[in-house]
Structure 1
Amino acid sequence: MKSTLFAVSMAALMLGCGREAAMAIPELGDRVLTVDEFLAQPDLRNKVGVLCRNDPGRMGATPNCVNVRRADHIASMGTTDKLRLDLAH
């Protein structure tokens, strides 16, 4: 019984590892960029964003796709240098 459980666990683990490798973004390999790194590199952010949007079923939940979506969102808001929130009213 224990050997069967071990075999099933190992098979599941190996499938998971293979799936992660298949979902890697070629330009980045195994590297995960932060939101700030994507913000600093708009060309790379666009390239990775296109890959993520093209295959959201497999790529959408990967760390780079999550980070690139957040970076896109922040970049689309513009700068916050002149943003002022007045809560006195």
Structure 2
Amino acid sequence: MKQPLLVFGSLLMLAACGDKARDKSPSRSTSPEPPKVRTVLEFLENPEALDETWAKCRNDLGVLGATGECVNAGYAKERLMMLGRERAIQSLKR
């Protein structure tokens, strides 16, 4: 009779430990927000940010090349070369 109670008590203690471990895990609400991805228009309006981001992206294409920041910086560079800064900005504001 004592053995089933001992097994039940042990299982109950283990189950309680599992709840505590889950409570300590970080929740989604406390996780830091991902960095904001700048748009093509933001890059065209801020040439320093474009040059800085583009330099980082070109230097590490394997890791950064497919990120939203790098893709948008690439499109901004392309529009800048094809249209010039003012026309590129105006074309995106329409």
Counterpart Cα distance in 1 of 2:36 and 2:83 = 27
Counterpart Cα distance in 2 of 1:76 and 1:56 = 21
Counterpart Cα distance in 2 of 1:73 and 1:31 = 21
- Higher Cα Rg, which structure: 2
1:77 to 68, 74, 82: 82
Counterpart Cα distance in 1 of 2:49 and 2:42 = 9
Runs of 5+ consecutive residues of structure 1 not aligned to the other structure: 1-28, 82-89
SS for the counterpart of 1:30 is coil
Structure 1 ranges of 4+ moved more than 6 A: none
Deviations 1:16-59 (A, max 9, x none): xxxxxxxxxxxxx7010000000100111000000000000000
Counterpart Cα distance in 1 of 2:49 and 2:56 = 11
Matched, 1:41 2:46: yes
Q: Which residue matches 2:67?
A: 62
SS for the counterpart of 1:65 is helix
SS for the counterpart of 1:71 is helix
Structure 1 residue 78 displacement after superposition: 2.7
TM-score by length of 2: 0.52
Q: Which residue matches 1:14?
A: none
Runs of 5+ consecutive residues of structure 2 not aligned to the other structure: 1-33, 89-94
TM-score by length of 1: 0.55
Matched, 1:50 2:50: no
